């Protein structure tokens, strides 16, 4: 999957990921499984800065199971991950 972001009349760099995503209400942070490797289920957090997605931190260590769902709490303080 690819996330394309348009802000302030400009298109940002695309972010490639797989399995699903959780996006903050203000659309400046996103949690995803990186890239195209569908055997890697580690969730990472990205921030949208200067029209590009920058990896900020790895939210969870080596997650071995495929994800069923990512859900972000209303106030963006808790990320829920449900695995198969």
State whether the Cα torsion 36-4-56-28 is positive or negative.
negative
pLDDT for residue 15: 93
Distance CA 37, CA 69 (A): 18
Number of domains in the chain: 1
Distance CA 84, CA 19 (A): 12
Phi-psi domain of 65 (left: phi exceeds 0; alpha: psi -120 through 50; beta: other): beta
pLDDT for residue 64: 75
pLDDT for residue 54: 93
Instruction: Give the Cβ contact number of residue 33 at 10 Å.
Output: 22
pLDDT for residue 34: 81
pLDDT digits (tens, 9 = 90+) for 23-65: 888 889 888 888 788 888 888 889 999 999 999 876 666 777 7
Q: Which domain holds residue 54?
A: 2-83
- Could you tell me the pTM of the whole model? 0.79
């Amino acid at each position: 999957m690819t996330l394309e972001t348009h802000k302030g009349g400009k298109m940002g760099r695309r972010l490639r990921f797989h399995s699903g995503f959780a996006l903050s209400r203000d659309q400046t942070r996103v949690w995803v499984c990186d890239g195209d490797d569908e055997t890697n289920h580690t969730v990472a957090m990205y921030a949208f800065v200067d029209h590009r997605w920058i990896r900020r931190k790895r939210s969870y260590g080596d997650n071995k199971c495929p994800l069923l769902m990512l859900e972000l709490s209303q106030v963006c303080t808790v990320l829920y991950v449900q695995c198969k």
